[in-house]
Structure formats: C-alpha cells, structure tokens
Structure 1
Amino acid sequence: MSLTANLMKTGDAKDGAGSEFLAFTLGSEEYGIDILKVQEIRGYEAVTRIANAPEFIKGVINLRGIIIPVVDMRIKFNLGTPTYDQFTVVIILNIGGRIMGMVVDSVSDVTTLSPDQIKPAPEMGSAFNSDYMIGLGTIDERMLILVDIDKLMSSGEMGLIDKMAA
C-alpha cells in the first residue's frame, strides 16, 4: 500500500520543524493523530464481538498471533451509524506498549504541522469531549481536529479494553 511506504519515508521529512500527524476521516470531519503512535494501517476486516462490551468496542482481531481490541471511533464520538466499505481502515496503535485498533472511515495522508499551525482547542459543549483534543491544525483551507490519542485511549472507559483483552 503506498500510504504505508509514505509513512516510512516521512521520518526524514523536516528535522524537527514540526509534528507529524496521520490524517483520517470520520463522517465529514478530518482528524489527526500523532504518527509516532501508529504501528500500521490495515483494511477493515470482521471482528470477533465480545459479549457485554460497550458498543464502541467492536470486538477483537488476531494480529499475527496477538489478540487486540478494536474501537470504532465513529461510535465512540457519537457520529452516527458507521458504514464499512472499501475505504474503511483499522489504524493499529501502540500506546504505552498497549496495541489496539481504531476503525476510521478512511486515511488520507501524513501532514507535518509547525507549532504556529496548531490552534488551541475551543470549548465545545458537544458529544466530543475537548479534553481529548490537542487543538486544531490548519493547512491553507484544510482543518484537522488533532486528537490526543494517549489521553483518549487511556481514559476510564477504555480501561474496559484491558479487561477484555486479558
């Protein structure tokens, strides 16, 4: 997949001139997460559902002999009913040594943002908890909602994932 090759060559992009984010979509919005947390990107495949798990935890998959939990971010962020098509992908994350999958509608690219392109997260009284936002990344007319994936995936309800994977 060309995106994977692109991910690998971005490490030498700009010597610390900014932070690199993997851009992905959920519904009509574009989000970004720290590229250093991304282990790989895979096409969506059926998951094994776990009884009594919260709805946003789709289930688990076997990744080369490791059972990893998969979270559907559209359900997690309350963005309507997810659809799974040829663009749907699972981003495999490594967060503090914990491997997990995150289902998103699609991924687009890796973007380098300089500190002056990242604006503070606005206070929003919506379903999206701004505690999980780093800020908003702006590139010309494009805007990325930058997600603090460490904080999101280590929140209290995500602790359920640890229990499921055990």
Structure 2
Amino acid sequence: MSAQVQLAETTLQPEDGLDQYLTFILAGEDYGVDILKVQEIKGWEGVTPMPNMPEFILGIINLRGTVVPVIDLRKHFQMESASFDQTTVVIVVKVSDEKHVERTMGIVVDAVSEVHNIAKNDLKPAPDFGGVVDTEAIKGLATINEQMIIMLDIDHLMNSSVLQLLDRNNIQ
C-alpha cells in the first residue's frame, strides 16, 4: 500500500461541542487521536533505522524533505510485536511540547478505522488500573456502537519520554 491518503480539513466549529477523532486498531483494541493532530496517513513502506535508539523508535522517514521519526506504538505500549502487512499504516501527527513547539512524528498502527464525531461530555475519564498506557496519556474513553475506544492525548504520550529522547539524539 504505497498510496497516500490526505485528510480533509474539518468543518466543525468549537461551539458544536464535538471533536473529531481518527480511530485505529492496535493489538485488536480501538484507539483514537484528535483529527486536528493528524497531518496525513501513509501506507507502511519501511524506515531508515537509527543507531542507539530504543526498540520502539523504528527509525526515520523522509516526508517531502522533512525528517520524521517513526514510533511503533505496540512496542511503546509494551505489547506483543506483530508483522507489518498491507493494513499497517503510519499516522503522521503534529505533536506539541510543553513550550508549544510543534514537531512532526509518525506512529505505526495495525490499521486505521474511521473518523468519529464525539461530544466532549461523552468522553469518560480513564480508570487508573495499571494498564500498558499511562492514564495521563488518555484523553478519555468513548463508547461507539457498544465498542470502547481509548482516546489518546498524543502530545502527552510523546512528551512523556519520546521527545526528550529524540532531542538527546539530535533527531528533529
């Protein structure tokens, strides 16, 4: 799958009380990220490995002249590894650090599902039960068609350790 999918601009207004989330599958579970953080979705084409990186940082890709680090969310969440296939994609996201400096990163997921409109008050807080995902990195839980979806705060998830690690290794 070498085709690129460009995401359409959202037309929702803040007063609508709805946020759009791109949902994806990781180890059979449904997750979502704020669509406003998503730059594009690319089919898996491989990466250029970087030396001395933790296992969850797969390497880098060149995205129209921009060097983009690619993170394997399965490995980052300490889940069982899976082989990459035709449904594996890289979701290219814009991540903001504590100083509001934006950075482009890629996250590898098993498959992309769809975009959902979710009311802010429909997001329920995540219980702190010691799962693989730090509850601070979870924006909330939503139920759609009786399916629980974990909505990630991608900024917090990547800022917790990944951005500092990339900075130390001079990967912009």
TM-score in same-fold range (> 0.5):
yes
Q: 1:139 to 1:94 in 2, by over 3 A?
A: same
RMSD between superposed Cα atoms in Å = 1.9
Q: 1:98 to 1:2 in 2, by over 3 A?
A: closer
Partner-residue secondary structure (3-state), 2:126: coil
Are 2:161 and 1:156 aligned?
yes
1:6-62: per-residue Cα shift (whole Å, max 9, x none)?
Answer: x416x1257623111110110110001110000000001111111110000000111
1:136-163: per-residue Cα shift (whole Å, max 9, x none)?
Answer: 0112312110111010111134311233
Structure (1 or 2) with the greater helix fraction:
1
Q: Is the 8 A contact 2:4 2:41 kept in 1?
A: no
User: Superposed, which structure 2 residues align to 1:29-44 within 5 Å?
Assistant: 29-44=29-44
Partner-residue secondary structure (3-state), 2:62: strand
Are 2:16 and 1:16 aligned?
yes
Q: Is the 8 A contact 1:17 1:114 kept in 2?
A: yes
Unpaired runs of at least 5, structure 1: none
Rounded to whole Å, the distance in 2 between the matches of 1:113 and 1:3 is 22
Alignment match, 2:60: 60
Partner-residue secondary structure (3-state), 2:8: helix
Runs of 4+ in 1 over 4 A off after TM superposition: none
1:68-115: per-residue Cα shift (whole Å, max 9, x none)?
Answer: 100000110111012200000000111232011100001011101112
Report % sequence identity.
43
TM-score (ref. length: structure 2)? 0.87
Rounded to whole Å, the distance in 1 between the matches of 2:162 and 2:39 is 23
* Length, aligned pairs only: 163
Are 2:104 and 1:99 aligned?
yes
Offset at 1:3? 6.1
Q: 1:2 to 1:160 in 2, by over 3 A?
A: closer
Partner-residue secondary structure (3-state), 1:12: coil
1:120-139: per-residue Cα shift (whole Å, max 9, x none)?
Answer: 11112122211111110112
TM-score (ref. length: structure 1)? 0.90
Unpaired runs of at least 5, structure 2: 97-101
Rounded to whole Å, the distance in 2 between the matches of 1:87 and 1:120 is 30
Q: Is the 8 A contact 1:75 1:82 kept in 2?
A: no
